[in-house]
Amino acid sequence: MSVLVILPAILLLPLFPFSMVAVLAFDRLRDGWLRSLLLLVWTLPGAALLSTSDTAPPAWLVAWAMLTALFYAWRAVVLQDARLWIVFLAVSSSALLWAGAGGAAMIAKALGLSLPIAFASALIEIIERRRGAAHVALDLRLAGRAPKLAGLFFIGLLAVAAMPVSPSFFVLLALVSDQAATSVMTTLAILACWLLWSWAAARLVTGIVIGRAHTAPNDISDHLASFYGAGVVGLGLVGVLLGGIML
Amino acid sequence: MTVLPALIILLPLVSAALTVSLSARMGRRVSDISVVLIGLSFAMSSLELWSAVWGQAPRNEVVLVGWVTFFRDPLSALLMWVIAGFSLIVHAYSRRYMADEPGFVRFFVLLNLMTAALLVMVSASHLVLLLIAWHLVGVLLYLLLGQDLHSQQAQRYAFVTFFTYRLGDLPVVLAAVLLFHAFGTWSLPEIFTALKGGSDATAFGLPLAGVVGFLVALSAFARSAQFLVHTWLPYTMSGPTPVSALMHAGIVNAGGVLINRFAPVYVHAGEVLHLMFIVGLVTAIIGSVMMLTQHDVKKALGYSTMGQMGFMIMECGVGAFSLAIYHLIAHGMFKGTLFLNASGVIRSARIDDGVPPEDLYTFIVERRPVRTRRPWLAMAIFTLAVPAAVLFLAHYFVEQDFFEKQGAVILLFFGWMTGAQLIFATYHMRAENPVRLFSLILVSFVIVVVGYSLIAHGFDVFLRPDPEFRKALYAAAGIRLVYFDIFVAILTTVIVLGWLYAYYVERRNMPTEDWNRRLRQLFYSVVSHELYVSTLYASASRHILSGARRVNARLGWR
């Protein structure tokens, strides 16, 4: 892999400390819909760049990427603001993409990781618009106040944490498959990230969804719930489709 | 007939979809649909089991589309029948039990989905499908345990369970990927066929079968609450009782099922079977000790399940894979009954505590002298003599090399321990009539030893019809005879010394030495704190989280 590919790729699929700029930019972006759209597409140029090279990146670079992915996954566990949480997860997953560099279907892998993130980001935007913020400290107790929104939010977070049959599940399986034969450490790093994402998602669910509601329910409309429900089904179908391509 | 396994799985999914779509119109009566459809699924699984037992349908694989392929073997037929049966009971029970609970519809949807996921898990013949079902069981259990959205305690322990399950999900992912790399297919039947002739493939510089067997065992340990990954099990009682029943009767057995499914791998991974035996043994002992020291009945039940799971893994460790399946079914029935009957017992006790109100009865019961004389020595000799007699009789009348059949001897040990437990727990070594007591004990021993031998053989023949494969599994589990003899000698010595110590302490009324008393207090303290394992994990977790908080603050959350 040449330097001409590596240098821009480090910025497009940002590794720490360049990742701090990406976090800052996404966090500053006020428009939630635009943020969701950007979260969907931002890894694609980097993935396209990496897919131009048939050879794997040097070991030190993959190690740097895995450390970045682990670093953000670990830090995401304690985050209480869902918006920042989703950005941390986006940075962590984009760094993981380096593990697939030199392999097949890089664009599919990038899309598979960013689709659930964009979906969850859109749901976070709905919560922020209705409640002011999607923050644990606000004691939102969504399950009691907005059961439909809570259910969708829960599924969205599970999809981000690579639960079956979300696209990210198949991407992580493909990444483990790419690395299992070559590097034990990279394989373990991917699995550790998977675990940390689940931990982080479960903590956020507990903080935002769970609890007895003391006010009257104020849920999203049936139409909106059906729209996002269709999105959940779509995520599953895309997951199965991507799984078929990658595995 | 080939669509039968697919229909058995499809019906709970249809039930879940109908429950969601019709709940607004039908209200709580929507649960009737679940019960009927799960009942239908159970009827079909009975048909499938019947055809498996009588060999009326060719046993092969059902390929629906792409990854959606299922085993059609005796193991999947039996387990599907068990799961559909337990699920039907739990569904029927939950209709009334959950009637006044919030989230009634959600509960039934989750129960249906859990049934479907479990059915897929035990029958999937494609590794990706198996992984999907394996992961989904963990997520669905998390939701079922956290059914009460207002209970912080239920949520906390649901989270602990979820995290442990995630920990256990990952090794099997790696195992699946390694198998795919080695054999170029995700299909389990193809992988097992390739493994038959032995494989010289390696992973990470080690023999592939050993690595895959180890990873699968790790996943099984987490699911079946083996020591060090057991902390979730005793605390999961905050969920609804039907969920406890389903979990203790079925879900927790997933480890044993997974190990059984990968049995062809373990033919080439004897060393992993030895590890399983040790882990199972330690878990069985610790689970039993913990059970005896709990003040909370529910936690005691949790630790009892842990001990039983230890036995199940131990059975796999000696190559008795089919016996482990019998064990998990028997334990499931027993524990499921206990849980589902719990509320009835409490209700009965509230209505009638069983003590007649007459003063005369109370006077007699309270003042009846406790029988203090116990036949210790006779009992000790008896528990030693019967297994030894069985061993020698088997040697002379069944097979000359019976002493060398390590699995059989270990199982005899298991029978011995179960018998000894019977003496203590069931008969309490007390009886008005010693002849009757000894007869009961003898019958118990015979039932345990003969029952286990016959059942083990019956299940072996049904689940693993190939005698060469059965022999290979037992051979893989074997160790060198000299080590085995040493192991048996140590176990015998420990048990005999235990008997002697208990005898002298009680019969001779020995004064307890100061150091001895302090040692016992220390032991009790450590055990009552559950060996500080949970405390250690909580402390590690706190450190990980506080470290992340500090780093986040230092970097300005960027």
Nearest CA in chain B to A20: B558
- Say how far apart CA A123 and CA A134 lie, in whole Å: 10
Query: Which of A78, A181, A210 is opposite residue B548, by nearest beta carbon?
Result: A78
Residue A10 scores a pLDDT above 60: yes
Q: What residues contact B502, with CB distance under 8 A and at least 6 apart?
A: B376
Q: Which tens digits make up the pLDDT trace of A136-164?
A: 988 888 988 898 999 999 999 999 999 99
3-state secondary structure of B322: helix
The helices-and-strands tally (H runs, E runs) of chain A is: 12, 0
* pLDDT the model gives residue A141: 86
* pLDDT the model gives residue B368: 55
* Residue boundaries of the structural domains of chain A: 3-246
Q: Six-digit token pair at A179?
A: 């690395």
Q: Six-digit token pair at A57?
A: 């990146």
Element (H, E) at B64: strand B61-65
Residues in chain B where the model's pLDDT stays below 70: 1, 56-59, 353-380, 382-383, 387, 390-391, 394-409, 411-434, 436-438, 440-441, 444-445, 448-449, 506-512
Nearest to B383 by CA among B295, B480, B291, B496: B496
**What is the b/e burial string over B194-233, where b = at least 16 CB atoms within 10 angstroms of the residue's CB?**
bbeeebebebeeebbbbbbbbbbbbbbbbbbbbbbbbbbb
* pLDDT the model gives residue B34: 95
pLDDT band at A38 (very low <50, low <70, confident <90, very high): very high
Chain B residue numbers with beta carbons less than 8 Å from the beta carbon of A165 are: 132
Chain A residue numbers with beta carbons less than 8 Å from the beta carbon of B153 are: none
Nearest CA in chain B to A206: B155
Phi, psi of B37 (to 5 degrees): -70, -40
Whole-model pTM: value is 0.90
- Say how far apart CA B439 and CA B490 lie, in whole Å: 29
Residues B182 and B204 sit within 8 Å (Cβ to Cβ): no
Looking at CA atoms only, how far is residue A206 from chain B in angstroms? 7
* Cβ-defined contact of A84 to B557 (cutoff 8 Å): yes
- Say how far apart CA B323 and CA B463 lie, in whole Å: 10
Flag whether residue B180 sits within 8 Å of chain A, measured between CB atoms: yes
Chain B residue numbers with beta carbons less than 8 Å from the beta carbon of A24 are: 558
Chain B residue numbers with beta carbons less than 8 Å from the beta carbon of A16 are: none
Residues B128 and A240 sit within 8 Å (Cβ to Cβ): no
Nearest CA in chain B to A173: B173
Please spell the DSSP secondary structure of B202-249, one letter per residue: EETTEEHHHHHHHHHHHHHHHHTT-TTS-TTGGGGGGS-HHHHHHHHH
Element (H, E) at B493: helix B481-507
Chain A residue numbers with beta carbons less than 8 Å from the beta carbon of B552 are: 75, 78-79
Radius of gyration of chain A (CA): 18
* Cβ-defined contact of A173 to B131 (cutoff 8 Å): yes
Q: What is the dihedral of CA B445, B250, B161, B532, to 10 degrees?
A: 0
* Cβ-defined contact of B181 to A181 (cutoff 8 Å): yes
- Cα torsion B542, B545, B548, B550: sign: negative
Please spell the DSSP secondary structure of B526-553, one letter per residue: HHHTGGGHHHHHHHHHHHHHHHHHHHHH
Query: Which of A27, A199, A206 is opposite residue B155, by nearest beta carbon?
Result: A206
Helices (H), B27-73: 30-53
Nearest to B117 by CA among B257, B274, B10, B36: B10
Chain B residue numbers with beta carbons less than 8 Å from the beta carbon of A173 are: 128, 131, 173, 177
Element (H, E) at B252: none
The vertex-B174 CA angle with B223 and A111, nearest 5°, equals 110
Q: Which tens digits make up the pLDDT trace of A194-223?
A: 999 999 999 999 999 987 666 777 889 989
Flag whether residue A176 sits within 8 Å of chain B, measured between CB atoms: yes
Mean pLDDT of chain A: 93
Chain B residue numbers with beta carbons less than 8 Å from the beta carbon of A164 are: 131-132, 135-136
Nearest to B238 by CA among B149, B310, B308, B309: B149
* Cβ-defined contact of A187 to B174 (cutoff 8 Å): yes
Residue A231 scores a pLDDT above 90: yes
Mean pLDDT of chain B: 85
Flag whether residue B554 sits within 8 Å of chain A, measured between CB atoms: no
* pLDDT the model gives residue A148: 92
- Say how far apart CA A82 and CA A127 lie, in whole Å: 10
CA distances from B485 to B18, B129, B389 (A): 60, 43, 18
Nearest to B191 by CA among B127, B123, B273, B258: B127
Single-letter amino acid, residue B230? H
Flag whether residue A169 sits within 8 Å of chain B, measured between CB atoms: yes
* pLDDT the model gives residue B396: 67
Q: Which residues share a beta bridge with B62?
A: B70
Write the DSSP symbol of residue A136: G
Angle, in degrees to the nearest 10, between helices A147-160 and A106-131:
150
Instruction: Print the SS3 string covering B501-513.
Output: HHHHHHHCCCCCC
* pLDDT the model gives residue A2: 85
Q: Which residues share a beta bridge with B124?
A: B70
Residues B41 and B12 sit within 8 Å (Cβ to Cβ): yes
